[in-house]
Amino acid sequence: MTAESPVRQDVSEARRLDASDSVPTQRANFHIPTDGSGSEVLYFAGNSLGLQPRAAAGYVAELLEDWQSLGVDGHFRGRTPWYTYHEVFKAQGARLVGADPDDGEVVMMNSLTINLHLLLTSFYRPAGRRTKLLMETPAFPSDIYCVQSHMRARGLDPDTHLIEIGPREGDDCIHPDDVVAAIEQAGDTLATIMIGGVNFLTGQVFDMASITEAGHRAGAMVGFDLAHAVGNIELHLHDWGVDFAAWCSYKYLNAGPGAIAGAFVHANHGGNPDLQRLAGWWGNDPDTRFRMHLEDTFLPVRSADAWQVSNPPILSMAPLRASLDLFDSVGMPALHERSIRMTRFLRRQLEAVPGCPWRILTPEDSHGAQLSIVVDADASRTFDHIARTGVVADFRPPDVIRVAPAPLYNTFEECHRFASIMEAAFAGVEGT
């Protein structure tokens, strides 16, 4: 007995799903780009750069007005004082990633790879037999460069001390059992695990709870790059016992290009003043931070804030407030459920195209908002063709088109439209 083939739905079904969904779209709260004719584009690139929340301009304007009227006094007299501005994200950030807000496990700071460097300084401490670090392949290139540079700085050869776990031959994604097996095999040679919570290329969601448990059994520190996970899937970092994590906020979090990033440090470590780290004045105890030349010894605040090294870029933080307000208004559990419904609908529409010349890399049972589509024909020309029809997506050479129906602002009707465009685009490419 074979499974039934997917059925291509009429657009009316997509509209019915939009009208009846238990989590209404927040589309009206975002600026949607338009094409040359003034029509809204089909924006499926939220996994690369999220759209601008309409409220972002107001938060930025408030800062500019306070700077204009208060000057340096904005640090303490601004409507949202700059001195404690990063603290406005403690509760929202904790809800976003499943952290403990009372223990200050989340801080918004720097950019993603800088945060990874700072965290690896603390959580990759090779010694004796325990020198190896495990990560997935393919991993995002910046993660690879970061890890390799830490090894070389410690006099270690990445070819010897870096363990990379990849898909089995003939598979697109990594088998969950293979990650745990690699951890167990490394045993007491393993110092640290650092894996992308959601793989940037395939969209595969890793079982972070099981990885963390296996890593701790082996005596290793466990951390995750959450660039493609945060704002995309439900996270429970504190309960899972994750040691550290970092993420950017310009993708699903819609905070703008090069926006402020985030970091998580479990309370088990945040309160440890003896943990090795790179220090700077903004990680100092805030009660002594402005004593300047009177304090010549670093006294870390007992939270993730201690990993800050410089005063935060306030203007970069402002747009994130607008986005997190929307995440809070809906809640990550509800958004994740909407995302799964929408992505599965898109998958069914794509797979129902007769003789579809593509396959989907992303696993059916472990995904978020992203689908990675491998095009069998000339993928580059196919991508160019759909771009000319008003689709904004992402192409990864040689043959992967990544699309991400973001649950905050995309719709089921847009998913249906994309499948129709893909079908017509391939016919157009074949006919050129």
pLDDT in tens, 317-331: 999 999 999 999 999
What's the rounded mean pLDDT across residues 126-151? 97
* For residue 138, cis peptide bond before it (omega within 30 degrees of 0): yes
Model confidence at 369, in pLDDT bands (50, 70, 90)? very high
CB 106 within 8 A of CB 99: yes
Which residue ranges make up each domain of the chain?
Answer: 11-30+331-431, 59-329
Kindly state the average pLDDT of the residues 399-405.
Answer: 96
Mean pLDDT of all residues belonging to the chain: 93
How confident is the model over 214-223, as a mean pLDDT? Answer: 98
- The pLDDT of residue 401: 96
- Supply the pLDDT for residue 431: 42
CATH class of 11-30+331-431: alpha beta
Of residues 292 and 416, more confidently modeled: 416
430 has a pLDDT exceeding 90:
no
Q: Which pLDDT score is estimated for 2?
A: 42
For the domain bounded by 59-329, which CATH number is listed? 3.40.640.10
Q: What mean pLDDT comes out for the span 95-103?
A: 94
Contact (Cβ atoms closer than 8 angstroms) between residue 392 and residue 45? yes
- Please, which pLDDT band fits residue 123 given cuts at 50, 70 and 90? very high
Higher pLDDT, 400 or 296: 400
> What 8-state DSSP symbol labels residue 136?
E
Q: What tens digit of pLDDT does each residue of 171-180 get?
A: 999 999 999 9
| Phi/psi at 312 (5° precision) | -75, 150
Give the predicted TM-score (pTM) of the model. 0.94
The pLDDT score that the predictor gives to residue 294 is 77
- Contacts with 425 (C-beta within 8 Å, 6 or more apart), sequence order: 382, 385, 386, 389
pLDDT at 4: 58
Res. 96: pLDDT tops 70: yes
